[in-house]
Each structure stands twice: as C-alpha cells, then as structure tokens.
Amino acid sequence: MRSPRSLVGGTPAAEFTIGFDGRELPAQPGQSVAAVLWAAGILAWRTTRGAAAPRGAFCGIGACFDCLVTVNGHPNQRACLVPARPGDAVTTQEGTGRADLAV
C-alpha cells in the first residue's frame, strides 16, 4: 500500500503519551493536540457555553475557536495549534473554560 510515509521513506519517531480526560493517548513528535485526539477517534472535546453542544476541530488552522481545550490547567487553548508534548494533561473544555470569563 502506498502512503506518504512510504513515498518519502520516513519512519515514525518514538511515541510518547498525553493524557486526555483520564485516558492515556499515544502521540508522536510534531503532532498537534487535535491530531492526537483525531487519531484516537475523539472528534469532540469542547462544549459550547449556552447549549453545551459538542465541538471539535472545524478549520484546523487556528482561525476559529471550535477546538478549544484546557492544556495543563490553561483553558482556551486551540488544539489545532498546540503541539502535543510528553505528559501533557488535556481536558475537555466546558463553556468558557473558567468562571471569570462568563458573560
């Protein structure tokens, strides 16, 4: 089977793990948090402020804010832009991510 990796002769780098809502997920250097979540089959990791509707990646380039997560206790991080790092603790973000931003 042909794949981009086979075409360039690349080999995957050593994996590490990040935590997501209490689960350990495999990640590779260079992946964004969103890419790690997608690879694990997780498509939604935020709920909206008003209706608590599920959201995940929409644009994938940091132009929108649908993919917000809390990373290592810091809310409102765009999962598509944040590089995954060994041992990161990522959690689903509910609403604004913290009470002092409530409108």
Count up the domains in the chain and report the number. 1
pLDDT (tens digit per residue) in 9-51? 777 778 999 999 999 999 999 999 999 999 999 999 988 888 8
49: alpha, beta or left? (left if phi > 0; alpha if psi -120 to 50):
alpha
**Which range of residues forms the domain containing residue 76?**
43-94
pTM as predicted = 0.81
Residue 58 placed within a domain: yes
Long-range contacts of 20-25 (CB under 8 A, 24+ apart): 20/45, 20/90, 20/91, 21/90, 21/91, 21/92
80 pLDDT band (50/70/90 cuts)? very high
pLDDT (tens digit per residue) in 82-100? 999 999 999 998 777 764 5
Residue 76 placed within a domain: yes
Residue 86 placed within a domain: yes
Residue 69 placed within a domain: yes
Residue 5 placed within a domain: no
Residue 31 placed within a domain: no
Residue 11 placed within a domain: no
Which DSSP state fits 49? T
Residues 5 and 23: their CA atoms lie apart, in Å, by 28
Which token pair is 48? 């909206």
